[in-house]
Amino acid sequence: MREPRIDGFLPAGTLLRGTLEFSGTLWIDAEIHGAVRASAAAPSTLIIGPRAKVFGNIEAGQITIYGAVTGRICSLGALIFEHGARVVSEEIVHRGFTIHSGAHVEGTLAPPPQLQQSANSIQPRANVQPLRTEPPREPSTSVAADRQRRAPVFVAAER
């Protein structure tokens, strides 16, 4: 896999108060008190480095977290919590996520609103009902008797 091109970098020792808007790929190792948002005009990647501390909401296409985040997270692409990540969030909006061993994540995981609406509108296409079931039998010690026992059979019937 190719290394991402880093368009911007905020090093450790930097303190930023306020809203930060970026485009492209941004790596943060700084302390930020405020929102971090990607420009909606282009694909974006946000990397919260291992020395970063973000106190505010973050929004980007892809987000990878190694450091600390306290605030709402909204990722419309991949969301990855790496080893050492420390996240406390009321809501973590994502299309899909990966939590690696050693990451600490507290919060409610939710799909983006458009995915949530489409999931709620899905209707089952068939009714699934048991075709036949057999009453439970007494336990047996015989292998042949165990093979004769059958599980319920289910058949999907069109509406």
DSSP-derived letter for residue 83 is T
Checking 63-72 for CB contacts under 8 A at 24+ apart, the result is 65/103, 67/28, 67/29, 71/35
pLDDT of 136 reads 54
The span from the CA of 91 to the CA of 76, in Å, is 14
CB neighbour list of residue 94: distance below 8 Å, 6 or more residues apart:
73, 74, 75, 79, 109, 110, 111, 112
Greater confidence, 36 or 7? Answer: 36
Return the structure tokens found at 63.
Answer: 């987000």
Contact 107, 90 (CB under 8 A): yes
Query: Strands 53-55, 31-33: parallel, antiparallel or unpaired by DSSP?
Result: parallel
Return the structure tokens found at 8.
Answer: 């911007």
The domain limits of the chain are: 8-119, 126-158
CB neighbour list of residue 148: distance below 8 Å, 6 or more residues apart:
none
Residue 71, CA atoms < 13 Å, CB-side half-sphere: 19
The mean pLDDT of 25-40, rounded to a whole number, is 94
Contact 103, 81 (CB under 8 A): yes
**Where residue 128 falls among pLDDT bands split at 50, 70, 90?**
very low
pLDDT of 29 reads 97
* The pLDDT of residue 153 is above 50: no
The mean pLDDT of 51-61, rounded to a whole number, is 96
The span from the CA of 143 to the CA of 47, in Å, is 57
**% residues pLDDT > 90 (the chain):** 56
pTM of the model as a whole: 0.70
* The pLDDT of residue 6 is above 90: no
